[in-house]
Structure 1
């Protein structure tokens, strides 16, 4: 495991970064997309060599917040906003959803249909299993919308919700269950150690039919004041749902439920994700993904806070890592087996290729260190062993900063 002292030393060190080749012939069917500010760049992925090749870039009207592919893998839906952290956490005035057609040979993107205006800043979006609806979550005010996806893949009208919905405080992710009958909205709340004011976190579940949602349950331990969920992912074959608990740096396991979408109580008490659980530094768990074979679950630990040092803001310390858990195939219980160094600051998004052999992580921005060095943003590639553990392969530096962040990245296997 990587303890805090070792991590800070590694993070401060210089990492030699290879150069991304542009226009190299694709050698696999996997494309990794990286969004920096309003620009979305496609990279071909060579899983065996653990390398990337830059394919091309498109732009959106504002800073990209999230993206999700259509089940057909022919279209990519992107939500963007002029608000958010890169804009000083202002509300912004431009909020849109765009559809892009994916070139089946190269993964290159082409605008597809008209953009759809959104009312406020979107934080997450996903597509239902049928490919008929785009679901979008908004954090301030916490809310959601459903838009139709037309037969040609373009975005259609908003589905009006006849019922008032409980959308909690600070929505952060919206997903449809594998049976396409329920929607789960993760609402993080505000309950990290230094949050003020403090708000409850919760997992909201809804019945889902023809684009219409109906309240089912609000799930949280106790009163939700010490529960800050961020993201979830589904096991590929079992009814197990893995949830990253951001504010408490924990992982929880729930079970799919026909009546409420998700069990009201976790299958297991929440487990810490840090290599140093006793650290007094503020930390935050990040996104979470179950491996394609269902044997492992991965999530990131993030630390991005700064202190004043010799007239400038520098990294205050903490753990930026990928936590690896093995999954008991009988019970679903996760067990921490590795904390792999993040080789960057604030791993906000990552993905695993469909073969389960390569994990790609995307640090959000560059970070100044106390020793005068700067840790770059970039694309970090890890080989995944048969035991689920990660081995660093390489990092490609990219230009991302506090003003122009790498806010989303993800992988699509071409149709």
Structure 2
């Protein structure tokens, strides 16, 4: 049998299950499920065949009143089935994660000021009560991601901040950590080089075997590598800083860095470059140029220093999410929406949202194999995509 991978893509409230053949790098639609509201982010349970989906009828800078957490049960063939719809979260969650023990779900909220909510999970994976926090904490202006350290003892927020615009000064960014015990969050560190000005961390990922954190800076199009101690204390300054763009001097409006993932074997790290700015062309907005790539960096096995290897074209626009399979053989990037571009003969061509499939070489370099167009109805985007590791569902 071909070696298959389970991939999920969300367009609005529709979550679609795809089967990916790692050997042939093919992708086939298998099934789908309708959620009560558009999916914002999802995370698997570490040992049970469950996927936790934070949904909302809101969005960036848009208030919401429907914010349920949906628990999906994953069948042996990867097909999702609705198991439970939990009560509303207080606000839209932009990110969710499950701690390594599978006992807690943590959601990050960024509307109207930063917040985290923690829920207990029962031994069968059901969502239990929200944990009332005994200590007041500052969660920053714009927490864009929440992760739990591999130790399970510390929670980490990527507080992106906001760039200065329309006469409003910059909101500085930071990495923020919190001690985590019995679901209680205790403020610990604030990592904010130069006071957080010019520092816009969006996403982080941990090296699988070494105490290294890789951070993408959305606002500055940079990749940072931070070291941390056995006690989960992060060094105050990054050990290494690199540009994510092939030509930083040619940065266009709406050029931002995105998701970061370390290869499952730890020999390289990937960062998404996203661009979807437009200019007028005969009365229609068309793509104004920019870098829509996956930046590939080799990781020095002794120091953790990243070194640029490649910028791989995603063959789409604004890849908000991407993922590798558990063995690190295939990478798939999801562009969120269609984009009009000026083609041959000055004709305007619409490029649909898509899944771009790459084969991963031994050194981590990417070879583009194919793209699968993804229909996006008006007002809906391919907002999240993930690959669920089969071994994560083994007890």
Partner of 2:136: 164
Match 1:400 to one of 376, 388, 393: 376
Match 1:69 to one of 39, 44, 67: 44
| Aligned counterparts, 1:272-351, within 5 A | 272-282=243-253, 283-351=255-323
How far does the alpha carbon of each residue in 1:58-106 deviate from its partner, in whole angstroms, 9 at most, with x for none? 1111111000000014100000111115xxx421221111111111x21
In the alignment, the residues of structure 2 paired with residue 295 and residue 215 of structure 1 have an alpha-carbon distance, to the nearest angstrom, of 32
> Does the 8 Å contact 2:68/2:85 carry over to 1?
no
Between 194-203 and 370-379, report the one with greater CA deviation. 194-203
What secondary structure does 2:249 align onto?
Answer: coil
Note if 1:218 corresponds to 2:190: yes
Partner of 2:388: 412
What secondary structure does 1:215 align onto?
Answer: strand
Between 152-161 and 89-98, report the one with greater CA deviation. 89-98
Once the two structures are TM-superposed, the CA of residue 401 in structure 1 deviates from its matched residue by 5.7
Q: Gaps spanning 5+ residues in structure 1: where?
A: 1-25
In the alignment, the residues of structure 1 paired with residue 29 and residue 305 of structure 2 have an alpha-carbon distance, to the nearest angstrom, of 39
In the alignment, the residues of structure 2 paired with residue 342 and residue 201 of structure 1 have an alpha-carbon distance, to the nearest angstrom, of 28
Between 183-192 and 227-236, report the one with greater CA deviation. 183-192
How far does the alpha carbon of each residue in 1:122-161 deviate from its partner, in whole angstroms, 9 at most, with x for none? 1000000000111000111211100111111111110111
Partner of 2:367: 391
Once the two structures are TM-superposed, the CA of residue 52 in structure 1 deviates from its matched residue by 1.4
Note if 1:33 corresponds to 2:11: no
Partner of 1:21: none
Once the two structures are TM-superposed, the CA of residue 357 in structure 1 deviates from its matched residue by 1.0
| Aligned counterparts, 1:83-162, within 5 A | 83-85=58-60, 89-103=61-75, 105-140=76-111, 141-162=113-134
In the alignment, the residues of structure 1 paired with residue 5 and residue 257 of structure 2 have an alpha-carbon distance, to the nearest angstrom, of 27
> Does the 8 Å contact 1:177/1:261 carry over to 2?
no
In the alignment, the residues of structure 1 paired with residue 351 and residue 317 of structure 2 have an alpha-carbon distance, to the nearest angstrom, of 7
Give the structure, 1 or 2, with the largest relative contact order (CA under 8 Å, sep 6 or more): 1
> Does the 8 Å contact 2:3/2:23 carry over to 1?
no
In the alignment, the residues of structure 1 paired with residue 69 and residue 48 of structure 2 have an alpha-carbon distance, to the nearest angstrom, of 17
Note if 1:181 corresponds to 2:153: yes
In the alignment, the residues of structure 2 paired with residue 96 and residue 274 of structure 1 have an alpha-carbon distance, to the nearest angstrom, of 37
TM-score by length of 2: 0.94
What secondary structure does 1:120 align onto?
Answer: coil
Match 2:339 to one of 364, 367, 390: 367
Classify 1:195/1:56 alpha carbon distance in 2 versus 1 (closer, same or farther; 3 Å): farther
> Does the 8 Å contact 1:183/1:261 carry over to 2?
no
Partner of 1:3: none
Between 343-352 and 106-115, report the one with greater CA deviation. 106-115
In the alignment, the residues of structure 2 paired with residue 149 and residue 195 of structure 1 have an alpha-carbon distance, to the nearest angstrom, of 44
Q: Give the CA RMSD over aligned residues.
A: 1.6
In the alignment, the residues of structure 2 paired with residue 323 and residue 280 of structure 1 have an alpha-carbon distance, to the nearest angstrom, of 15
Note if 1:54 corresponds to 2:54: no
In the alignment, the residues of structure 1 paired with residue 356 and residue 10 of structure 2 have an alpha-carbon distance, to the nearest angstrom, of 15
Classify 1:131/1:262 alpha carbon distance in 2 versus 1 (closer, same or farther; 3 Å): same
> Does the 8 Å contact 1:184/1:261 carry over to 2?
no
